[in-house]
Chains A and B, each alone.
Chain A
Amino acid sequence: MTGRGTDEPLLSVRGLGVRYGDAVTALRDVSVDVPQGGIVAVLGSNGAGKSTLLRAISGVLTRQAGRMTGGEIRFAGERIDGVGAERRVKSGIVQVPEGRRVFAHLTVQENLRAGRYGNPKGKRPGDLERVYDLFPVLGERRSQAAGLLSGGEQQMLAIGRALMAEPRLLLLDEPSLGLAPKIIDRIVDLLREIHGQGTAMLVVEQNAAVALELADHAYVLSVGEVAIEGAAERLRGDDRVRRLYLGGEPDEEIAATIPGDVRGGMP
């Protein structure tokens, strides 16, 4: 990490190891940086450890009997790997979880109110309206149960809910999962707009085309280790990345081309 200047990264993950239970190693010696105001992508197939990385950063490993076995996580210079999930949210790291995970029985507005819990400044006038301005469809459906929204609308709600906490770093776990290409384009545009307002992002994706379009810098995880790292532009042209993640082959075939991946990792 020499020669990068004196700018300290907003998020710095160093030598992270994670294990589930006693035996399953999910991450080994993973180091990832997110600069201030940057967008960083983490690519990799199913089971490569992408979600585990985000869970470790958010501090929710223990619910699945996972734990850090080594390394450290720093946010804005402060070490955060020892503090609880809610303190990390308050300090400005908010996750949009995989599969959207909106609170289906709560209304759209109640989902946003739940998101406000992580805002270090608490409740403020007009905070709901800011999200409704960004996602007008949510404003129209504010009193509908979130479970009745379409997939794309639920993804917008999940992002809007995270924005209620006014994060400095947004962690996005597969934001394109299960969405139609047209909707994915909308989500990418919205993420650009949010990024333009000064929010840094760490995006985990299987859809490498989407991720590399959005990000400035990217990492490729394979069986819990960083296999490739570089500028997004360079990775777009990288042969291995193109063959494995941009070729449009079905997942199983891709996995079979990397000997390590068939050994299987953890979600």
Chain B
Amino acid sequence: MAQLLSMLVEGASLGAVYALVALGIVVIYKSSSVVNFAQPSLLMFGTYVTASAYSLHGLSFWVALPLGVAAAAVLAVLVDRVLVARFRRTQAVVAASIMTIGVDVVLLTEVDRRIGSQILTTGDPWGNEVVRFLGIGVAEARIAALVVSALLLVLFQLWLHRSDFGVAMRATAEDPETASLMGIRLGRVSATAWAVAGALAVCAGLFIVAYPSPGLDTSVEAVALRALPAAIIGGLDSTTGAIAGGLLVGLSEVLVRGYGEHLAFLGQGFEEAAPYVLMLVVLLARPAGLFGIREAVRV
């Protein structure tokens, strides 16, 4: 029982972090119908900037963090403005989406080269304390991940549903041409979505590399990639779906790993495939994802 409870907390924490990354994919998809496969590389890039600012240049975490967030946001806007915007006029969203795979590969290669065999830490304030409650022990960093991510998710939803910019973004998601007839600048909506996506990815990245993970190394990108099934499970055009999808992926991963001995027939390391299996099952039942409106086929 205690084991299950501790896995549920871990899974929810990891899931909330995935949700942050998935939200970035969803918000870009909603604002421009482009699926951003480069999201893992934005996460790696921003997290690397923060980690190297702390580990290699001796800056404090509270300086390194905004530096990494800003760097990823700026890079994301550049990708949008310089590359994706070229496809916008002709609505070639499939080509633009596939191009982001190229961006991902190029960027990851460069970040990997710079990381090399190092394991960089970010100097986050959570340390390696373990909190004990209800007979279980959970790393403080995991609790922080859950709380901070939940807070960011709530703030994001409020922004999307209350602010004028949120109205413009949702109007664009529904009907870009009519939105532009209303004077909404599609380029600005898209650039903002990319900036937000980059910033959210780095927030998530900091928690992924926090204790009990040893730090930032090149294996983190495989973790970040699981945000993609999370976004698709929830529905590419639903922010609520991104949160639900993130939680499902986090929980499935932790539970499959935890009960690994009972699932030996699936082979070792099945937890890494679990999110994708879950995605296939969900898509068979609901092609638009759990909360999606538009089927991903339209991409």
Known contacts A114-B167, A123-B164: A95-B181 contact under CB 8 Å: yes
**B268, CB-defined interface residue at 8 Å:** no
Please choose the segment from A83-91, A221-229, A241-249 that sits at the chain B interface, where 4 or more of its residues have CB less than 8 A away: A83-91
Closest B residue, CB atoms, query A147: B174
B interface majority secondary structure:
helix
Chain A positions 82-116 with a Cβ under 8 Å from a chain B Cβ: 84-86, 89-90, 94-95, 97, 101, 103-106, 110-111, 113-116
**B298, CB-defined interface residue at 8 Å:** no
Residues of chain A contacted by B176 (CB below 8 angstroms): 63
Asked if A117 and B175 sit within 8 Å, CB to CB, the answer is no
Residues of chain B contacted by A63 (CB below 8 angstroms): 89, 91, 176-177
Chain A positions 55-91 with a Cβ under 8 Å from a chain B Cβ: 58, 60, 62-63, 65, 84-86, 89-90
Give the distance in Å from the alpha carbon of A203 to the alpha carbon of B228 in the complex: 46
Give the distance in Å from the alpha carbon of A49 to the alpha carbon of B293 in the complex: 33
Asked if A103 and B183 sit within 8 Å, CB to CB, the answer is no
How would residues 31 to 45 of chain B score, 1 for a CB under 8 Å from any chain A CB and 0 otherwise? 000000000000000
Give the distance in Å from the alpha carbon of A117 to the alpha carbon of B183 in the complex: 6
Give the distance in Å from the alpha carbon of A119 to the alpha carbon of B182 in the complex: 9
**B90, CB-defined interface residue at 8 Å:** yes
**A19, CB-defined interface residue at 8 Å:** no
Give the distance in Å from the alpha carbon of A89 to the alpha carbon of B168 in the complex: 15
Q: Name B177's contact: one of A60, A84, A89 (CB within 8 Å).
A: A60
Residues of chain A contacted by B89 (CB below 8 angstroms): 62-63
Residues of chain B contacted by A117 (CB below 8 angstroms): 164, 168, 182-184
Give the distance in Å from the alpha carbon of A113 to the alpha carbon of B183 in the complex: 11
Residues of chain A contacted by B167 (CB below 8 angstroms): 106, 110, 113-114
Asked if B181 and A60 sit within 8 Å, CB to CB, the answer is yes
Q: How many residues of B contact A (CB 8 A)?
A: 21
Closest B residue, CB atoms, query A62: B89
Q: Which of A60, A85, A89, A116 has the most CB of B within 10 A?
A: A85
Chain B positions 162-192 with a Cβ under 8 Å from a chain A Cβ: 164, 167-168, 170-171, 174-185
Total CB contacts across the A-B interface at under 8 A = 75
**A165, CB-defined interface residue at 8 Å:** yes
Asked if B174 and A106 sit within 8 Å, CB to CB, the answer is yes
Asked if B181 and A94 sit within 8 Å, CB to CB, the answer is yes
Asked if A103 and B181 sit within 8 Å, CB to CB, the answer is no
Give the distance in Å from the alpha carbon of A101 to the alpha carbon of B175 in the complex: 8
Give the distance in Å from the alpha carbon of A161 to the alpha carbon of B179 in the complex: 11
Asked if B171 and A86 sit within 8 Å, CB to CB, the answer is no
Asked if A65 and B181 sit within 8 Å, CB to CB, the answer is no
Asked if B174 and A86 sit within 8 Å, CB to CB, the answer is no
Instruction: Give the shortest distance, in Å, between B265 (CB) and chain A (any CB).
Output: 45
**A118, CB-defined interface residue at 8 Å:** yes
Known contacts A62-B89, A62-B90, A105-B293: A85-B171 contact under CB 8 Å: no
Residues of chain B contacted by A60 (CB below 8 angstroms): 177, 180-181
Give the distance in Å from the alpha carbon of A150 to the alpha carbon of B54 in the complex: 59
Known contacts A62-B89, A86-B180, A113-B164: A106-B185 contact under CB 8 Å: no
Residues of chain A contacted by B293 (CB below 8 angstroms): 105
A contact residues, range: 20 to 34
Residues of chain A contacted by B91 (CB below 8 angstroms): 63
Asked if B90 and A105 sit within 8 Å, CB to CB, the answer is no
Asked if B180 and A97 sit within 8 Å, CB to CB, the answer is no
Residues of chain A contacted by B177 (CB below 8 angstroms): 60, 63, 97, 101
Q: Name A103's contact: one of B90, B170, B180, B185 (CB within 8 Å).
A: B170
Q: Which of B91, B164, B167 has the most CB of A within 10 A?
A: B167
Chain A positions 101-142 with a Cβ under 8 Å from a chain B Cβ: 101, 103-106, 110-111, 113-119, 123
Chain A positions 21-67 with a Cβ under 8 Å from a chain B Cβ: 58, 60, 62-63, 65
Asked if B178 and A103 sit within 8 Å, CB to CB, the answer is yes
Q: Name A110's contact: one of B170, B178, B183 (CB within 8 Å).
A: B170
Residues of chain B contacted by A116 (CB below 8 angstroms): 164
Asked if A106 and B164 sit within 8 Å, CB to CB, the answer is no
Instruction: Give the shortest distance, in Å, between B166 (CB) and chain A (any CB).
Output: 9
Give the distance in Å from the alpha carbon of A103 to the alpha carbon of B91 in the complex: 20
Asked if A103 and B184 sit within 8 Å, CB to CB, the answer is no
Instruction: Give the shortest distance, in Å, between B33 (CB) and chain A (any CB).
Output: 12
Residues of chain B contacted by A105 (CB below 8 angstroms): 170, 174, 293
Closest A residue, CB atoms, query B90: A65
Closest B residue, CB atoms, query A65: B90
Residues of chain A contacted by B184 (CB below 8 angstroms): 86, 114, 117-118
- 6 A-B pairs with the lowest CB-CB distances in the bound complex, closest first: A118-B183, A89-B183, A114-B171, A101-B178, A85-B180, A117-B183
Task: List 14 interface pairs A-B (beta carbons < 8 Å), by A numbering.
Answer: A62-B89, A85-B183, A89-B182, A89-B183, A94-B182, A94-B183, A101-B177, A104-B174, A111-B171, A114-B171, A116-B164, A117-B168, A117-B184, A118-B184
Give B contacts to A, CB under 8 Å: 89-91, 164, 167-168, 170-171, 174-185, 293
